[in-house]
Amino acid sequence: MAKVLIIGAGGVGSVVAHKCAMNSDVFTDIMLASRTVSKCDKIAAEIREMHGVEIKTAKVDADVVAEMVMLIKQFQPVLVINVALPYQDLPIMDACLETRVHYLDTANYEPKDVAKFEYSWQWAYQERFKEAGIMALLGCGFDPGATQVFTAYAAKHQFDEMHYLDIIDCNAGNHGKAFATNFNPEINIREITQPGRYWENGEWVEIPAMSIHKPISYPAIGPKESYVLYHEELESLVKNFPTLKRARFWMTFGQAYITHLQVLENVGMTSIKPIPFQGMDIVPLEFLKAVLPAPDTLGENYTGQTSIGCQIRGVKDGQEKTYFIWNNCDHAETYKEVRGQAVSYTTGVPAMIGALLMLKGTWMKPGVWNCEEMDPDPFIEQMNQQGLPVQDQVNQTLSVEE
């Protein structure tokens, strides 16, 4: 049906490439490109061996618009799937505009020198993408991504008005390492060390990092200490669902992870400010990333599950109602299927689904959009078919409120 260009060959990029190859009736010609072409070649060899599909590989520096434009013109894809670093969103969007090619990513833009992420930079492309007749789908991973689809599904099928939204994200897996992050360490650590924020009564409430926490019970896992963080999908959800009185995002962290992080923060290793070292400037967090295990190496011996969902309270037909919609995913099973751990899988599979729906014309609308602005039903249907089965409960006590 269509050519697709995937940018980024980390854990998520690998999952996206595998899942596109497993849906070769839609993704008829696949190219995987990265700054390190050897990583792309390794993934291509796995895909050939596991799925019998040949994919192309290429070297590209996604920071350089001219390089991206050249590669797009050479390969001529219909769609670019960006699973590189969030710093690279804008150059890749610029290249898609110049070549009039559709765009999808899994994380919103943030500047490299400021630990701040928000959609304003990308929303500013709305008119340019509309005028070019191309679509940009933002944040189509799990959270952001599937969590917004869950919220839209709840709004469509379960509520007249949604008032309280809690997105809950648990990784109860064990990778056997003393300290490692499940996705890019640089992005992960920047995200959780900045102040937390949540939406309440029409305004953002800012809190010290990790200062609000409580045990939340997750399906098939049980209670896990969960912390309020700021997460990007909250920004678009409160805009698109203005009846929300409160919206929060919770994520689990073990005590050993918190302790390691506090020590690293105390000694300055999480800083993004360059420091002089032996005649050169180095960024401590970038150095830390280099010495930590790469997320795409964690899969082989990973055990346990992830559980991510939305707990929502609101009103239907004048009556109070609660709704919980979620997915659980098993690390060992995802490794068997695509050589990746469940955190990469739960990000990569929704990216492939968003791309599939765009290419089929089901989700196709010129401009710049977030996932909750599309029809949630075909996305949920695909989740059930593509390895992320969705479960839900109506009018049960929400564990976040216990």
Q: What pLDDT digit, counting tens, does each position of 13-28 carry?
A: 999 999 999 999 999 9
Does position 189 have pLDDT exceeding 90, yes or no? Answer: no
Task: Give the pLDDT mean for 235-255.
Answer: 95
Average pLDDT over residues 274-283: 89
* Cα dihedral 273/205/86/309 (nearest 10): 140
| Average pLDDT rounded to a whole number, residues 143-168 | 98
**Sign of the alpha-carbon torsion through 239, 389, 299, 58:** negative
Q: What is the pLDDT of residues 104-129, one digit of tens each?
A: 999 998 777 665 678 999 999 999 99
pTM to 2 decimals?
0.92
In the chain, % of residues over pLDDT 70: 95
Domains of the chain with bracketed CATH: 2-138 (3.40.50.720), 146-338+387-401 (3.30.360.10)
Task: Give the CA dihedral 139, 374, 148, 322, nearest 10 degrees.
Answer: 180
Q: For 174-266, where are the alpha helices, taking DSSP H only?
A: 185-193, 233-240, 255-266
Residue 82: what are its φ and ψ, rounded to 5°? -95, 105
Strands (E), 78-183: 79-82, 102-105, 135-138, 161-171
pLDDT (tens digit per residue) in 73-106? 999 999 999 999 998 999 999 999 999 999 999 9
Which pLDDT band, with edges at 50, 70 and 90, does 184 fall under?
A: low
Q: CA 52 to CA 128: how far, in whole Å?
A: 39
Three-class SS state of 324: strand
Whole-number pLDDT of residue 299: 61
Examine the pLDDT at 192 and tell me if it is beyond 80: no
pLDDT at 268: 84
